[in-house]
Amino acid sequence: MLRLDDLEVLVQAAELGSLSAAAREMDITPAVASLAIKRLEAELKLRLLVRSTRSLRLTAEGAHYLVHAKTALNALRAGEAELNQQRQRIAGELTISMPSDVGRNLLLGWFDDFVADHPELRLRLRISDRLSDFYRQPVDLALRYGVPEDSSLVALPLLTDNHRLLCAAPAYLERHGAPATPADLSQHNCLRFVLGDRLHDRWRFGDQTVQVNGDRSSDDADCVRRWAVNGHGIAYKSALDIQADLAAGRLRALLPDWPTEATPLYLVCAHRLSLTPAVTALRSYLQQRLERYRAGKSALQP
């Protein structure tokens, strides 16, 4: 198997007329340079250079092969330069996974605006509450609540002070009243979320955990929110997911004096090398939009 650095030694030695000069140019020792030529000659089963302590010349075979070696190295350098140029542009394709609720009802419109500002970028959106597997699925980025359990992933904070809120529709509260303490939830119909095979039926309020029950559960967080808005029960939702519903009076926050679970929002990728200019620009854009939205400005206002 030919090594690219061995080809580089051959090209430098031929151009400079000296293996020692080639070694100095490449910041390697003459012994390493000599070994590179020996590997090439062994792999090709040809003599490429005739050399002594003071002189060096190409054999006929070496001169013929040098043309191809230069062509190969130039092509690779051109490919690397093109990739570097592309990496500096907000272009290409990004596959992004995001939660159902905030994805459909908030981020979808924001992504439309981002693509309109960067027409060379193409987005593929995967809206699902299932956690993405970066090693098995074609996903570049994921927006997720909570710090990933896999410490090898890169998690970039977008909204660190987000938390859950207990909420219900006015119609439900008129029929059943509001809980005065977390323990009162045992007397209410609680709308539960399923993630994977896990039913989230233990809701935390500070150091107190309450086992809840109800007649509905779903693996789609947006479905749980819609049930709550339609008056079917009490939900325990991310504040970001229900901000518009609270502002419009479709939902009311319950037990406001009780501490609730933190649900920070992160932009997650598999490796630092994934942080292209497009990803960096997208993160900055989302942070600005989230800041404006949390401040009470319109979700549609750029």
Across 148-173, average pLDDT: 92
Q: What is the pLDDT of residue 302?
A: 32
Lookup: tokens for 274: 């994934």
Of the chain, the percentage scoring pLDDT greater than 90 comes to 62
pLDDT digits (tens, 9 = 90+) for 233-247: 999 999 999 999 999
Q: Which residue has the higher pLDDT, 67 or 80?
A: 67
Distance CA 10, CA 37 (A): 7
Distance CA 155, CA 173 (A): 38
Global confidence as pTM: 0.69
pLDDT band at 298 (very low <50, low <70, confident <90, very high): very low
Identify which of 185, 240, 177 has the alpha carbon closest to the alpha carbon of residue 208. 185
Q: Which residue has the higher pLDDT, 34 or 228?
A: 228
Residues 6+ apart with CB under 8 A from 155: 147, 148, 266, 267, 268
pLDDT digits (tens, 9 = 90+) for 284-293: 999 999 999 9
pLDDT band at 184 (very low <50, low <70, confident <90, very high): very high
Shared fold status for 92-161+264-294 and 164-254: yes
Of the chain, the percentage scoring pLDDT greater than 70 comes to 94
Q: What is the pLDDT of residue 85?
A: 63
Answer whether CATH 1.10.10.10 is correct for domain 4-87: yes
CATH superfamily of 92-161+264-294: Periplasmic binding protein-like II (3.40.190.10)
Identify which of 284, 271, 263 has the alpha carbon closest to the alpha carbon of residue 150. 271
Q: Which CATH class is domain 164-254?
A: alpha beta
pLDDT digits (tens, 9 = 90+) for 209-221: 999 999 999 999 9
Q: Is 214 helix (H, G, I), strand (E, B) or coil?
A: coil
**Residue listed under structure tokens 């960067």:** 118
Q: Give residue limits of the domains in the chain.
A: 4-87, 92-161+264-294, 164-254
Distance CA 188, CA 178 (A): 9
